[in-house]
Amino acid sequence: MSAIKVHGNPLSTATMRVLATPFEKELDHEFVIVDLRAGEHKKEHFLSRNYDPYALTFCNSESRAVTKYIAYEYADKGTQLIYQDPKKMAITSVWMEVDALQYDKIATTLGLELGYKPVVLGINPDATVVEENEPKLAKVLDIYGSRLVESKYLGGDYFTLADLHHMPIIHFLLGTQTKKLF
């Protein structure tokens, strides 16, 4: 089998999420940088998955599907990111949905304002956006805190995709004022 090719941008949390998966699964993989400013992600070969079955090109909404694909396809390798038990996997799936539907939008908004804008774009964050979103993130983190009193990890007894999906933006936010919420 060829190494998996992950096409993406190193500043993207979606890319980091996908890259973490073959790393955890101990799979050979290659990272191919996509220059978003040059519009490389809009080229025809990136829009067709037929040119290379081991090349994974994605956007943020697809990144979770790609991580699931890798976790199931290579379930017998590396870190077990999924449960074989349907009930335990359903619980893990709930926390993956909480990430996708509740946590990620708020955390990404804060990451954009507090990290990307000042560091990459050289502009000041919108203080109103930060003030509106920090309390929202705190509420979600309180729910996570309650879960982690009951369970070692969000998804259950061991590290799963539910935890992995959170890692890139947490890593990013820990370098900002929002780290106080963690």
- Looking at the 3D structure of the chain, how many domains does it have? 2
Q: What is the CB neighbour count within 10 angstroms for residue 162? A: 23
Q: How confident is the model at residue 39 (pLDDT cuts 50, 70, 90)?
A: low
- Domain assignment present for residue 141? The answer is yes
- Domain assignment present for residue 137? The answer is yes
Tokens of 119: 């560091």
The answer to whether residues 62 and 93 belong to one domain is no
- Domain assignment present for residue 78? The answer is no
Percent of the residues in the chain that have a pLDDT greater than 70, as a whole number = 85
* H or E element that contains 52: none
Determine the structural domain holding residue 62 and report its residue range: 4-73
Q: How far is CA 158 from CA 22, 55, 66, 162, in A?
A: 17, 29, 20, 10
CB 37 within 8 A of CB 64: no
The rounded distance, in Å, linking the Cα atoms of 22 and 164 is 11
The answer to whether residues 99 and 67 belong to one domain is no
- Domain assignment present for residue 81? The answer is no
The answer to whether residues 26 and 98 belong to one domain is no
The predicted-structure confidence for 43-64, as pLDDT tens digits, reads as follows: 444 444 443 334 454 555 588 9
Q: What is the pLDDT of residue 36?
A: 63
* The pTM of the whole model exceeds 0.85: no
The answer to whether residues 124 and 159 belong to one domain is yes
The answer to whether residues 169 and 119 belong to one domain is yes
The predicted-structure confidence for 139-167, as pLDDT tens digits, reads as follows: 999 999 999 999 999 999 999 999 999 99
The answer to whether residues 91 and 162 belong to one domain is yes
Which of 73, 103, 121 finishes a domain?
73
- Domain assignment present for residue 79? The answer is no
Tokens of 76: 């017998």
Residue 91 has pLDDT above 90, yes or no: yes
| Continuous H helices in the chain | 13-24, 44-47, 60-73, 86-98, 104-111, 127-150, 161-164, 167-173
- Domain assignment present for residue 69? The answer is yes
Task: Please report, for the domain that includes residue 97, its CATH number.
Answer: 1.20.1050.10
